[in-house]
Amino acid sequence: MEENFVENRCVELLRTIRWPGGIRCPRCDCSHIIEVGHIRTFPEHRRYCCSKCKYTFSDTSMTLFHGSRLPLSKWFDAIILGAKGSSAMGIKRELRITYKAAWRIKHLMREDSLAQEIKQRLLPR
Ligand SMILES: [Zn+2]
């Protein structure tokens, strides 16, 4: 079974998990956040600026997804595949990504608490 996630919904889920009470600055924890556009490569990912410390960040800043060239939807697919026991080779084939990327994703996910939380939200009990 292949899951197909829409990027927009993935970003929304990430926001809900990271910031259940609304977006906060990852640096100073201030909740006065201004939206300042989006990430060039992924228009669904918003950029923010903290009105207190002026730190600018995005939906994926300070997460394992930060700086990835893969869309969140692929990461989420990989999380599901990994949870169902797929090998890095299986993830590579299924998502048509490089073996290196698949291997990296599989290993990053194992210890990342955010990835664990996403997995719990995505998988039916
Ligand atoms: Zn701040």
pLDDT greater than 80 at residue 3: no
Between the CA of 2 and the centroid of ligand 1 the distance, in Å, is: 39
* Rounded mean pLDDT, 35-56: 96
Between the CA of 105 and the centroid of ligand 1 the distance, in Å, is: 29
pLDDT greater than 90 at residue 109: no
Specify whether the CB–CB gap between 60 and 70 falls below 8 A: no
* Rounded mean pLDDT, 81-106: 92
Between the CA of 62 and the centroid of ligand 1 the distance, in Å, is: 13
What's the pLDDT score for residue 124? 74
Mean of pLDDT over the chain: 91
Domain boundaries, the chain: 7-58, 72-122
- What's the CA gap between 57 and 112, in Å, rounded? 20
